[in-house]
């Protein structure tokens, strides 16, 4: 998949805006912590099961942001998922003030959703006695600007295990 400019981030984009995003999050040092791919099919490890549960739970946890999760795949050393942020009180309405992308404290936007996912997976892993680092810092996102791009990303995600050369 091709990415957006500037490491995937648009400096003139407010990441509270509604839209679809292709998210990629890497395991710490690309370790194979999440799953195993056997003949094109994924077998989730315990951390992978936690990622699956927490990703699906994102819709409930972030219901106030009108968040929907789309296709996703948990690969051995990374995660891909499509996330939709709909219109909500933080990206529309009379008190909404449009801001450009900035690095700093994030709330009620894409960055805060990913931070929450990483945190909840880490807490779940600690509950299983897993104490090693799980995540690489940061994540990559690609803003999907059309239904065709959402379909392309969905195809990419669904076929990722078949292309795994691990």
**pLDDT (tens digit, 9 = 90+) per residue, 131-148?**
999 999 999 999 899 999
Q: With contact defined as beta carbons under 8 Å apart, do 123 and 50 qualify?
A: no
Q: With contact defined as beta carbons under 8 Å apart, do 101 and 12 qualify?
A: yes
Lookup result for tokens 């994924």: 42
What's the chain's average pLDDT? 85
Calpha distance 67→94 (Å, rounded) = 21
Confidence bin at 91 (pLDDT 50/70/90):
low
Closest CA to 16 of 96, 90, 93, 112: 90
Question: What are the start-end ranges of the H helices in the chain?
Answer: 46-61, 110-127, 147-163
pLDDT at residue number 6 = 40
SS3 105: coil
Lookup result for tokens 């219901």: 63
Which are the contacts of 64, defined by CB distance < 8 A and separation ≥ 6? Answer: 88, 89
Which has more confidence, 109 or 29?
29
What is the Cβ-side half-sphere exposure of residue 63, based on CA atoms within 13 angstroms? 3
| Ordered structural domains, the chain, with CATH | 19-163 (3.30.70.1290)
Calpha distance 157→155 (Å, rounded) = 5
Q: How far is CA 89 from CA 50, 65, 113, in A?
A: 29, 7, 16
Which of 28-37, 67-76, 138-147 shows the lowest mean pLDDT across its residues?
Answer: 138-147
Please tell me the pTM assigned to this model. Answer: 0.82
pLDDT at residue number 74 = 98
Which are the contacts of 99, defined by CB distance < 8 A and separation ≥ 6? Answer: 14, 16
Which has more confidence, 111 or 122?
122
Which has more confidence, 84 or 94?
84
pLDDT at residue number 48 = 98
């Amino acid at each position: 998949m091709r990415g957006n400019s500037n490491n995937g981030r648009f400096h003139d984009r407010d990441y509270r805006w509604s839209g679809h995003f292709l998210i990629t999050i890497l395991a710490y040092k690309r370790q194979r912590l999440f799953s195993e791919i056997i003949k094109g099919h994924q077998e989730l490890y315990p951390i992978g099961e936690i990622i699956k549960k927490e990703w699906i739970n994102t819709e409930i946890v972030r219901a106030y942001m009108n968040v929907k999760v789309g296709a996703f795949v948990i690969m051995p050393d990374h995660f891909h998922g499509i996330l939709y942020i709909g219109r909500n009180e933080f990206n529309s309405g009379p008190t909404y003030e449009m801001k450009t992308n900035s690095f700093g404290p994030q709330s009620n936007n894409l960055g805060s959703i990913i931070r929450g996912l990483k945190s909840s997976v880490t807490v779940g892993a600690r509950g299983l006695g897993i104490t090693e680092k799980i995540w690489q810092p940061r994540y990559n996102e690609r803003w999907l600007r059309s239904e065709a791009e959402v379909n392309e990303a969905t195809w990419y995600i669904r076929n990722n295990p078949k292309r795994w050369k691990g």
